[in-house]
Structure 1
Amino acid sequence: MILVALGSNLETREHGTPRETLEAALKALPDYGIEVVQRSSWYRSAPVPVSDQPWYVNGAARVQARMLAEDLLARLHEVESRFGRIRRQKNESRVLDLDLLTFDDRRTEEGSAVVLPHPRIAERAFVLKPLVELVPSWHHPVTGETAAEMLRRLPASQAVERIL
Protein backbone atom coordinates (compact mmCIF):
# COMPACT_ATOMS: atom_id res chain seq x y z
CA MET A 1 0.00 0.00 0.00
CA ILE A 2 1.28 3.44 -0.93
CA LEU A 3 -0.09 6.42 1.02
CA VAL A 4 0.38 10.10 0.21
CA ALA A 5 -0.58 13.13 2.33
CA LEU A 6 -1.80 16.27 0.56
CA GLY A 7 -1.89 19.82 1.87
CA SER A 8 -2.31 23.42 0.70
CA ASN A 9 -2.88 26.78 2.32
CA LEU A 10 -2.34 29.27 -0.50
CA GLU A 11 -4.68 30.23 -3.32
CA THR A 12 -3.45 30.34 -6.91
CA ARG A 13 -4.75 32.11 -9.99
CA GLU A 14 -4.67 28.94 -12.02
CA HIS A 15 -6.30 26.52 -9.58
CA GLY A 16 -8.15 28.69 -7.05
CA THR A 17 -8.60 27.83 -3.40
CA PRO A 18 -6.40 25.34 -1.55
CA ARG A 19 -9.15 22.72 -1.85
CA GLU A 20 -9.47 23.31 -5.60
CA THR A 21 -5.69 23.05 -5.89
CA LEU A 22 -5.70 19.70 -4.10
CA GLU A 23 -8.47 18.40 -6.37
CA ALA A 24 -6.49 19.51 -9.42
CA ALA A 25 -3.34 17.87 -8.07
CA LEU A 26 -5.16 14.55 -7.65
CA LYS A 27 -6.35 14.79 -11.27
CA ALA A 28 -2.77 15.54 -12.42
CA LEU A 29 -1.17 12.52 -10.71
CA PRO A 30 -1.96 10.04 -13.54
CA ASP A 31 0.09 12.28 -15.89
CA TYR A 32 3.07 11.22 -13.74
CA GLY A 33 2.28 7.51 -13.65
CA ILE A 34 0.51 7.70 -10.28
CA GLU A 35 -2.99 6.20 -10.08
CA VAL A 36 -5.27 7.42 -7.30
CA VAL A 37 -7.07 4.38 -5.89
CA GLN A 38 -8.92 6.09 -3.04
CA ARG A 39 -8.88 9.43 -1.24
CA SER A 40 -10.04 10.80 2.08
CA SER A 41 -12.35 13.69 2.71
CA TRP A 42 -10.76 17.12 3.02
CA TYR A 43 -9.87 18.50 6.43
CA ARG A 44 -9.13 22.01 7.68
CA SER A 45 -6.23 22.41 10.09
CA ALA A 46 -4.16 25.06 11.81
CA PRO A 47 -0.54 25.39 10.73
CA VAL A 48 2.00 23.26 12.60
CA PRO A 49 3.97 24.73 14.27
CA VAL A 50 1.49 27.44 15.25
CA SER A 51 1.95 30.61 13.19
CA ASP A 52 -0.02 33.38 11.51
CA GLN A 53 -0.19 31.45 8.23
CA PRO A 54 -3.59 30.71 6.70
CA TRP A 55 -5.13 27.41 7.79
CA TYR A 56 -4.47 24.37 5.63
CA VAL A 57 -6.69 22.01 3.70
CA ASN A 58 -5.36 18.45 4.07
CA GLY A 59 -6.21 14.97 2.94
CA ALA A 60 -4.68 11.61 2.11
CA ALA A 61 -4.74 9.29 -0.87
CA ARG A 62 -3.96 5.66 -1.49
CA VAL A 63 -2.13 5.41 -4.80
CA GLN A 64 -0.55 2.84 -7.11
CA ALA A 65 2.64 3.45 -9.04
CA ARG A 66 4.93 1.07 -10.91
CA MET A 67 8.19 2.67 -9.79
CA LEU A 68 10.63 2.75 -6.94
CA ALA A 69 9.82 4.84 -3.86
CA GLU A 70 12.63 7.24 -4.74
CA ASP A 71 11.17 7.79 -8.22
CA LEU A 72 7.68 8.25 -6.79
CA LEU A 73 8.91 10.91 -4.38
CA ALA A 74 10.69 12.68 -7.26
CA ARG A 75 7.46 12.64 -9.27
CA LEU A 76 5.48 14.04 -6.33
CA HIS A 77 8.01 16.88 -6.16
CA GLU A 78 7.55 17.44 -9.92
CA VAL A 79 3.80 17.80 -9.38
CA GLU A 80 4.43 20.29 -6.56
CA SER A 81 6.67 22.32 -8.88
CA ARG A 82 4.10 22.21 -11.67
CA PHE A 83 1.63 23.77 -9.25
CA GLY A 84 4.06 26.52 -8.27
CA ARG A 85 5.66 25.21 -5.10
CA ILE A 86 9.05 26.72 -4.38
CA ARG A 87 10.94 25.31 -1.40
CA ARG A 88 12.61 28.10 0.55
CA GLN A 89 12.26 27.35 4.25
CA LYS A 90 10.84 24.68 6.50
CA ASN A 91 7.18 25.01 7.58
CA GLU A 92 6.38 27.87 5.22
CA SER A 93 3.00 28.40 3.54
CA ARG A 94 2.64 26.37 0.38
CA VAL A 95 0.56 26.07 -2.74
CA LEU A 96 0.88 22.28 -2.65
CA ASP A 97 2.53 19.74 -0.39
CA LEU A 98 2.64 16.05 -1.35
CA ASP A 99 4.29 13.80 1.22
CA LEU A 100 5.05 10.13 0.66
CA LEU A 101 3.90 8.57 3.93
CA THR A 102 4.45 4.88 3.34
CA PHE A 103 5.42 2.63 0.45
CA ASP A 104 4.44 -1.03 0.95
CA ASP A 105 5.55 -0.83 4.60
CA ARG A 106 9.14 -0.30 3.46
CA ARG A 107 11.52 1.03 6.13
CA THR A 108 14.50 3.22 5.39
CA GLU A 109 16.89 5.21 7.55
CA GLU A 110 17.28 8.96 8.02
CA GLY A 111 19.67 10.17 5.35
CA SER A 112 18.30 7.80 2.69
CA ALA A 113 17.04 9.24 -0.60
CA VAL A 114 13.54 8.78 0.80
CA VAL A 115 12.81 8.19 4.49
CA LEU A 116 10.03 5.65 5.04
CA PRO A 117 7.70 5.68 6.73
CA HIS A 118 7.49 9.46 6.82
CA PRO A 119 9.29 10.38 10.06
CA ARG A 120 6.62 12.76 11.40
CA ILE A 121 3.40 10.80 10.79
CA ALA A 122 2.81 10.24 14.51
CA GLU A 123 3.17 13.98 15.28
CA ARG A 124 0.57 15.35 12.88
CA ALA A 125 -3.17 15.18 13.41
CA PHE A 126 -3.68 16.69 9.95
CA VAL A 127 -2.10 13.52 8.51
CA LEU A 128 -3.53 10.98 10.94
CA LYS A 129 -7.18 12.07 10.79
CA PRO A 130 -7.44 11.54 7.00
CA LEU A 131 -5.53 8.25 7.37
CA VAL A 132 -7.99 6.99 10.00
CA GLU A 133 -10.81 7.66 7.54
CA LEU A 134 -9.01 6.31 4.48
CA VAL A 135 -7.43 3.12 5.83
CA PRO A 136 -8.55 2.46 9.41
CA SER A 137 -6.67 -0.86 9.48
CA TRP A 138 -3.31 0.69 8.56
CA HIS A 139 -0.52 0.05 11.05
CA HIS A 140 2.72 2.00 11.29
CA PRO A 141 5.39 -0.38 9.95
CA VAL A 142 7.84 0.42 12.74
CA THR A 143 5.69 0.86 15.86
CA GLY A 144 2.75 -1.34 14.86
CA GLU A 145 0.31 1.32 16.07
CA THR A 146 -2.79 2.24 14.10
CA ALA A 147 -3.34 5.80 12.91
CA ALA A 148 -6.21 6.05 15.42
CA GLU A 149 -3.93 5.08 18.32
CA MET A 150 -1.33 7.68 17.29
CA LEU A 151 -4.04 10.33 16.82
CA ARG A 152 -5.41 9.79 20.36
CA ARG A 153 -2.00 10.68 21.84
CA LEU A 154 -1.82 14.10 20.18
CA PRO A 155 -2.80 17.30 22.01
CA ALA A 156 -6.25 18.76 21.38
CA SER A 157 -4.50 21.95 20.25
CA GLN A 158 -3.95 20.24 16.87
CA ALA A 159 -7.48 21.01 15.74
CA VAL A 160 -8.52 19.23 12.56
CA GLU A 161 -12.07 19.47 11.23
CA ARG A 162 -13.61 17.60 8.32
CA ILE A 163 -14.89 19.90 5.57
CA LEU A 164 -16.00 17.33 2.97
Structure 2
Amino acid sequence: MIVVAVGANLAATGYETPLATCEAAVTRLAEDSDIRVTGRSRWYESEPVPVSDQPWYVNGAVAVETDLLPEVLLARLHLIEESFGRVRRVRNEARPLDLDLIDYHGQVRIGAVAPTLPHPRAAERAFVLLPLQDLDADWRHPVTGERVSVLIDGLPGAGGAIRPLAD
Protein backbone atom coordinates (compact mmCIF):
# COMPACT_ATOMS: atom_id res chain seq x y z
CA MET A 1 0.00 0.00 0.00
CA ILE A 2 1.14 3.52 -0.76
CA VAL A 3 -0.05 6.10 1.78
CA VAL A 4 -0.31 9.83 1.21
CA ALA A 5 -1.17 12.09 4.15
CA VAL A 6 -3.37 15.09 3.34
CA GLY A 7 -3.58 18.19 5.50
CA ALA A 8 -4.33 21.92 5.52
CA ASN A 9 -5.03 24.65 8.02
CA LEU A 10 -5.72 27.45 5.56
CA ALA A 11 -8.30 27.47 2.78
CA ALA A 12 -6.72 27.59 -0.66
CA THR A 13 -7.87 30.38 -2.97
CA GLY A 14 -11.26 29.43 -4.35
CA TYR A 15 -12.18 27.13 -1.45
CA GLU A 16 -14.13 28.12 1.64
CA THR A 17 -12.40 25.90 4.21
CA PRO A 18 -9.31 23.75 4.73
CA LEU A 19 -11.61 20.70 4.52
CA ALA A 20 -12.86 21.79 1.08
CA THR A 21 -9.23 22.27 0.04
CA CYS A 22 -8.30 18.75 1.22
CA GLU A 23 -11.31 17.19 -0.53
CA ALA A 24 -10.39 18.99 -3.76
CA ALA A 25 -6.77 17.82 -3.45
CA VAL A 26 -7.90 14.19 -3.16
CA THR A 27 -10.05 14.69 -6.25
CA ARG A 28 -7.08 16.21 -8.10
CA LEU A 29 -4.91 13.26 -7.07
CA ALA A 30 -7.55 10.84 -8.37
CA GLU A 31 -7.67 12.72 -11.69
CA ASP A 32 -3.98 11.99 -12.35
CA SER A 33 -3.95 9.22 -14.96
CA ASP A 34 -0.89 7.61 -13.32
CA ILE A 35 -2.40 7.44 -9.82
CA ARG A 36 -5.39 5.46 -8.56
CA VAL A 37 -6.91 6.33 -5.17
CA THR A 38 -7.91 3.02 -3.56
CA GLY A 39 -8.91 4.12 -0.07
CA ARG A 40 -9.63 7.16 2.09
CA SER A 41 -9.59 7.78 5.81
CA ARG A 42 -12.08 9.95 7.60
CA TRP A 43 -11.06 13.55 8.25
CA TYR A 44 -9.62 14.72 11.56
CA GLU A 45 -9.08 18.09 13.15
CA SER A 46 -5.72 18.43 14.86
CA GLU A 47 -3.81 20.96 16.90
CA PRO A 48 -0.68 22.32 15.19
CA VAL A 49 2.52 20.43 16.03
CA PRO A 50 4.54 22.01 17.47
CA VAL A 51 1.77 23.81 19.34
CA SER A 52 1.34 27.38 18.10
CA ASP A 53 -1.32 30.02 17.55
CA GLN A 54 -1.99 28.74 14.02
CA PRO A 55 -5.48 27.50 13.13
CA TRP A 56 -6.10 23.79 13.70
CA TYR A 57 -5.44 21.45 10.78
CA VAL A 58 -7.70 19.16 8.83
CA ASN A 59 -5.88 15.85 8.29
CA GLY A 60 -6.60 12.60 6.54
CA ALA A 61 -4.89 10.02 4.37
CA VAL A 62 -5.44 8.21 1.11
CA ALA A 63 -4.18 4.90 -0.16
CA VAL A 64 -3.01 5.02 -3.76
CA GLU A 65 -1.60 2.68 -6.37
CA THR A 66 0.82 3.78 -9.05
CA ASP A 67 3.74 2.57 -11.11
CA LEU A 68 5.50 5.89 -10.50
CA LEU A 69 8.75 5.69 -8.56
CA PRO A 70 8.59 7.26 -5.06
CA GLU A 71 10.59 10.32 -6.11
CA VAL A 72 8.33 10.90 -9.13
CA LEU A 73 5.20 10.46 -7.01
CA LEU A 74 6.54 12.94 -4.45
CA ALA A 75 7.24 15.44 -7.24
CA ARG A 76 3.61 15.06 -8.41
CA LEU A 77 2.40 15.65 -4.85
CA HIS A 78 4.47 18.84 -4.67
CA LEU A 79 3.00 20.03 -7.98
CA ILE A 80 -0.51 19.51 -6.60
CA GLU A 81 0.44 21.43 -3.45
CA GLU A 82 1.75 24.31 -5.58
CA SER A 83 -1.44 24.35 -7.65
CA PHE A 84 -3.34 24.97 -4.39
CA GLY A 85 -1.05 27.86 -3.46
CA ARG A 86 1.51 26.11 -1.26
CA VAL A 87 4.83 27.94 -1.08
CA ARG A 88 7.51 26.39 1.11
CA ARG A 89 9.18 29.09 3.20
CA VAL A 90 9.35 28.10 6.85
CA ARG A 91 9.05 24.66 8.40
CA ASN A 92 5.74 24.04 10.24
CA GLU A 93 4.11 27.19 8.88
CA ALA A 94 0.38 27.46 8.20
CA ARG A 95 -0.43 26.13 4.74
CA PRO A 96 -3.26 25.67 2.28
CA LEU A 97 -2.19 22.10 1.50
CA ASP A 98 0.33 19.52 2.65
CA LEU A 99 0.73 16.18 0.88
CA ASP A 100 3.26 13.79 2.44
CA LEU A 101 4.38 10.41 1.16
CA ILE A 102 4.14 8.27 4.30
CA ASP A 103 4.67 4.72 3.04
CA TYR A 104 5.47 3.22 -0.34
CA HIS A 105 4.78 -0.52 -0.21
CA GLY A 106 6.84 -0.85 2.96
CA GLN A 107 10.04 0.39 1.33
CA VAL A 108 12.79 1.61 3.63
CA ARG A 109 14.89 4.43 2.17
CA ILE A 110 17.07 6.27 4.65
CA GLY A 111 19.97 8.53 3.80
CA ALA A 112 20.84 10.57 0.76
CA VAL A 113 18.16 9.12 -1.53
CA ALA A 114 14.98 11.20 -1.37
CA PRO A 115 12.30 10.70 -0.35
CA THR A 116 13.02 9.13 3.02
CA LEU A 117 10.68 6.17 3.52
CA PRO A 118 8.74 5.65 5.59
CA HIS A 119 8.16 9.33 6.37
CA PRO A 120 10.65 10.06 9.17
CA ARG A 121 8.12 11.53 11.64
CA ALA A 122 5.03 9.49 10.77
CA ALA A 123 5.28 7.29 13.87
CA GLU A 124 5.31 10.37 16.13
CA ARG A 125 2.16 12.05 14.81
CA ALA A 126 -1.40 11.20 15.76
CA PHE A 127 -2.61 13.19 12.75
CA VAL A 128 -0.84 10.66 10.51
CA LEU A 129 -1.37 7.48 12.53
CA LEU A 130 -5.13 7.76 13.12
CA PRO A 131 -5.95 8.25 9.43
CA LEU A 132 -3.47 5.48 8.59
CA GLN A 133 -5.29 3.16 11.00
CA ASP A 134 -8.54 4.01 9.19
CA LEU A 135 -6.93 2.84 5.94
CA ASP A 136 -5.36 -0.34 7.34
CA ALA A 137 -5.68 -1.35 10.99
CA ASP A 138 -3.03 -4.04 10.37
CA TRP A 139 -0.41 -1.64 8.98
CA ARG A 140 3.07 -2.12 10.44
CA HIS A 141 5.87 0.42 10.49
CA PRO A 142 8.40 -0.74 7.85
CA VAL A 143 11.41 -0.14 10.13
CA THR A 144 10.20 -1.16 13.60
CA GLY A 145 7.52 -3.66 12.61
CA GLU A 146 5.18 -2.14 15.20
CA ARG A 147 1.47 -2.18 14.42
CA VAL A 148 -0.22 1.18 13.96
CA SER A 149 -2.31 0.60 17.11
CA VAL A 150 0.85 0.13 19.20
CA LEU A 151 2.34 3.33 17.75
CA ILE A 152 -0.86 5.22 18.60
CA ASP A 153 -0.91 3.85 22.15
CA GLY A 154 2.72 4.95 22.59
CA LEU A 155 2.16 8.57 21.58
CA PRO A 156 2.94 11.09 24.30
CA GLY A 157 0.03 13.19 25.54
CA ALA A 158 1.84 16.35 24.44
CA GLY A 159 1.73 15.34 20.77
CA GLY A 160 -1.22 17.62 20.07
CA ALA A 161 -4.95 17.17 20.38
CA ILE A 162 -6.86 15.44 17.58
CA ARG A 163 -10.52 14.60 17.01
CA PRO A 164 -12.58 13.22 14.13
CA LEU A 165 -14.48 15.82 12.15
CA ALA A 166 -18.25 15.43 12.29
CA ASP A 167 -19.75 14.07 9.07
Question: Shorter-chain TM-score: what band?
Answer: over 0.9
The correspondence of residues 22-41 of structure 1 with structure 2, limited to 5 A, is: 22-32=22-32, 33-41=34-42
Per-residue CA shift, 1:74-132, capped at 9, x if unaligned? 00000000111000010000100000001011111133121000000111011011111
Q: Is the 8 A contact 1:6 1:99 kept in 2?
A: yes
Instruction: Tell me, in whole angstroms, the C-alpha distance in 2 between the residues paired with 1:30 and 1:40.
Output: 15
In the other structure, the counterpart of 2:163 is: 161
Per-residue CA shift, 1:4-50, capped at 9, x if unaligned? 10100002331220000010001101333221111000000000000
Return the letter of the residue paired with 2:72.
D
Q: Is the 8 A contact 1:107 1:115 kept in 2?
A: yes
> Is residue 17 of structure 1 aligned with residue 22 of structure 2?
no
In the other structure, the counterpart of 1:129 is: 130
Return the letter of the residue paired with 1:159.
A
Instruction: Tell me, in whole angstroms, the C-alpha distance in 1 between the residues paired with 2:100 and 2:67.
Output: 18
Return the letter of the residue paired with 2:18.
P
Q: Is the 8 A contact 1:2 1:102 kept in 2?
A: yes
- TM superposition shift of 1:153: 1.0
Q: Is the 8 A contact 2:13 2:85 kept in 1?
A: no
Instruction: Tell me, in whole angstroms, the C-alpha distance in 1 between the residues paired with 2:13 and 2:85.
Output: 11
Instruction: Tell me, in whole angstroms, the C-alpha distance in 2 between the residues paired with 1:80 and 1:45.
Output: 20
In the other structure, the counterpart of 1:105 is: 106
Q: Is the 8 A contact 2:46 2:127 kept in 1?
A: yes
In the other structure, the counterpart of 1:94 is: 95
Work out the percentage of aligned pairs sharing the same amino acid: 51
The correspondence of residues 54-65 of structure 1 with structure 2, limited to 5 A, is: 54-65=55-66
Q: Is the 8 A contact 1:129 1:160 kept in 2?
A: no
In the other structure, the counterpart of 2:82 is: 81
Q: Is the 8 A contact 1:5 1:98 kept in 2?
A: yes
Q: SS state of the match for residue 19, structure 2?
A: helix
Q: Is the 8 A contact 1:107 1:142 kept in 2?
A: yes
**Aligned-CA RMSD value:** 1.1
- TM superposition shift of 1:155: 2.0
In the other structure, the counterpart of 1:49 is: 50
Give the unaligned 5+ runs of structure 2.
none
| TM-score normalized with structure 1 length | 0.96
Q: SS state of the match for residue 130, structure 2?
A: helix
Give the unaligned 5+ runs of structure 1.
none
